[in-house]
């Protein structure tokens, strides 16, 4: 027992009493199966939307690049960590996203947390004024972190409410400082989408820098999975390799000047070890195959539509989801935990999402579909959710 353990235990107990304690749950993974305590379980909680985490090409190229180049990049990008492999993947990425340049990060969380302060520094240095940062209320925690690290007081607009955003932009017209709009193309806990054309038009009208997180759209939405930003003017697109692209790591895509600024001004880029060859191998293979997966994308969206229709017909609230993420919004933390438990007993893995990840009173099961789920498993999911909910409410 360490000196501060009683304090830590008390804090944990307090969270437990409010059903808010988070705990780890180890699973076993094979390329085509998820096992929980040795039993196969159907996983509807992961972000492996195209089932690429077990794809042979990603596994092979990752292993190949590890064997050929080693397991680590050995240094940060600006020291001696930049390899020809980074440039190859970044060039592929820029082509995929239709931008002049792209830059890799170790994770999506790190990208948002590290890039935003560098952009705000640019604004401050070039205008002499603090920036005005307009944020969707449901933005991911990593964007909040990026704002907090730069001491920014966010100006929050109601989720996906562009009239509210415009009214806030108007209200702040007389204030100096560069404007930023921070939002996501697919919201991770709601599975709804932002109107990128309208956002881009607003950003232009009010001379604001548009920062778009495409973590859950990359690979899944837009032509050939290029994201919802495709075909629109967006100043910076951020996305991840950790979800539909089946491995880990993240990117930003934009102009060459933008990436050059981040290279020289972002602490999280400068002082962190470069992504490793096996990571890069998986990224490279994903970028090679994702544009050709239109059939998988179409099937994924059809499955999500079927799921929503069946749940809604049973009176279950799935919010405004129109993507592969389908929330089952239950409200109460305890009900949500109970339903997740019953589902788990039936061999279905879903995770109860509770505050502060989602607003208070909107606890939910976040169902995330994958191209690797077959129709029978969707049928079983629908039956099980409806039965579990009835059982819990009885």
Ligand X SMILES: Cc1ncc(COP(=O)(O)O)c(C=O)c1O
Catalytic (active-site) positions = 47, 140, 184, 188, 213, 216, 243
Binding segment for ligand X (CB under 6 A), chosen from 22-30, 104-112, 350-358, 385-393, is: 104-112
* Residue 350 binds ligand X, judged by CB under 6 A: no
8 token code pair: 């830590």
Binding segment for ligand X (CB under 6 A), chosen from 101-109, 220-228, 300-308, 348-356, is: 101-109
* Residue 185 binds ligand X, judged by CB under 6 A: no
* Residue 213 binds ligand X, judged by CB under 6 A: yes
Least distance (Å) between residue 385 CB and ligand X: 22
| DSSP codes joined into one string, 336-364 | HHHHHHHHHHTTEE-EEE-TTTS-TT-EE
Nearer to ligand X, 144 or 346 (CB): 144
Nearer to ligand X, 45 or 142 (CB): 142
Least distance (Å) between residue 146 CB and ligand X: 10
Q: Are 145 and 195 in contact (CB under 8 A)?
A: no
Nearest of 205, 159, 163 to residue 182 by alpha carbon: 159
* Residue 192 binds ligand X, judged by CB under 6 A: no
Least distance (Å) between residue 259 CB and ligand X: 19
Which of 184, 192, 296, 333 binds ligand X (CB under 6 A)? It is: 184
Could you say which DSSP state residue 224 is in? G
Q: How far apart are the first and last CA of the chain?
A: 43
Least distance (Å) between residue 248 CB and ligand X: 6
Nearer to ligand X, 188 or 377 (CB): 188
**Any residues with CB less than 8 A from the CB of 168 and at least 6 apart, and which?**
134, 155, 157
Q: Which helix (H) or strand (E) holds 95?
A: helix 84-97
Nearer to ligand X, 246 or 277 (CB): 246
Binding to ligand X (CB under 6 A): which residues in 124-143? 140, 142
Q: Which residue is nearest to ligand X (CB)?
A: 108
Q: Are 103 and 269 in contact (CB under 8 A)?
A: yes
* CA 78/CA 282 separation, integer angstroms: 23
Which of 58, 61, 108, 364 binds ligand X (CB under 6 A)? It is: 108
**Dihedral sign, Cα of residue 141, residue 146, residue 150, residue 155:** negative
Binding segment for ligand X (CB under 6 A), chosen from 213-221, 261-269, 272-280, 298-306, is: 213-221
Binding segment for ligand X (CB under 6 A), chosen from 108-116, 323-331, 340-348, 363-371, is: 108-116
Q: Give the 3-state secondary structure of residue 62.
A: helix
Burial class (CB in 10 A: 0-12, 13-18, 19+), 301: middle
Paired strand residues for 36: 39
* CA 273/CA 79 separation, integer angstroms: 9
Binding segment for ligand X (CB under 6 A), chosen from 121-129, 211-219, 226-234, 294-302, is: 211-219
* Torsion angle of the four alpha carbons 278, 284, 288, 293, in this order, in degrees rounded to the nearest 10: 60
Least distance (Å) between residue 224 CB and ligand X: 21
Nearer to ligand X, 120 or 211 (CB): 211
Least distance (Å) between residue 246 CB and ligand X: 12
Q: Which residues bind ligand X (CB under 6 A)?
A: 107-109, 112, 140, 142, 184, 188, 213, 215-216, 240, 242, 250
């Amino acid at each position: 027992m360490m000196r501060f353990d009683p304090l830590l235990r008390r804090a944990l107990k307090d969270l437990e009493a409010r059903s808010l304690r988070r705990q780890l749950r180890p699973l076993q993974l094979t390329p085509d199966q998820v096992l929980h305590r040795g039993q196969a379980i159907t996983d509807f909680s992961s972000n492996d939307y195209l089932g690429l985490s077990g794809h042979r090409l990603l596994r092979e190229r990752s292993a190949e690049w590890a064997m050929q180049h080693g397991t680590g990049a050995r240094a940060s990008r600006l020291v001696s960590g930049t390899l020809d492999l980074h440039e190859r993947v970044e060039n592929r990425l820029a082509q995929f996203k239709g931008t002049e340049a792209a830059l890799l990060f170790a994770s999506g969380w790190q990208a948002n947390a590290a890039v935003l302060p560098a952009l705000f520094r640019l604004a401050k240095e070039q205008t002499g004024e603090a920036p005005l940062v307009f944020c969707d209320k449901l933005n991911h925690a990593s964007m909040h972190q990026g704002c907090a690290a730069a001491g920014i007081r966010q100006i929050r607009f109601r989720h996906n409410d562009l009239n509210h955003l415009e009214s806030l932009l108007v209200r702040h017209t007389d204030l100096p400082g560069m404007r930023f709009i921070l939002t996501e193309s697919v919201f991770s806990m709601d599975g709804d989408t932002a109107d990128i054309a309208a956002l881009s038009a607003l950003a232009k009208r009010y001379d604001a820098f548009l920062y778009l997180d495409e973590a859950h759209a990359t690979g899944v939405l837009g032509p050939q999975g290029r994201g919802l930003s495709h075909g629109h003017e967006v100043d910076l697109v951020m996305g991840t390799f950790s979800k539909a692209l089946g491995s880990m790591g993240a990117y930003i895509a934009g102009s060459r000047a933008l990436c050059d600024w981040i290279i020289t001004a972002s602490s999280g880029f400068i002082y962190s070890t470069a992504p490793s060859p096996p990571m890069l191998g998986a990224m490279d293979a994903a970028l090679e195959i994702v544009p050709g997966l239109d059939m998988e994308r179409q099937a994924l969206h059809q499955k999500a539509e079927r799921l929503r229709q069946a749940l809604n017909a049973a009176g279950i609230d799935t919010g405004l989801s129109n993507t592969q993420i389908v929330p089952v919004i239950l409200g109460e933390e305890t009900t949500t935990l109970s339903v997740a438990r019953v589902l788990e007993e039936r061999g279905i893995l879903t995770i109860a999402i509770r505050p502060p990840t989602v607003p208070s009173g909107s606890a939910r099961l976040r169902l995330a579909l994958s191209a690797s789920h077959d129709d029978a498993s969707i049928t079983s999911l629908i039956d099980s959710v409806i039965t579990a909910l009835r059982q819990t409410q009885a």
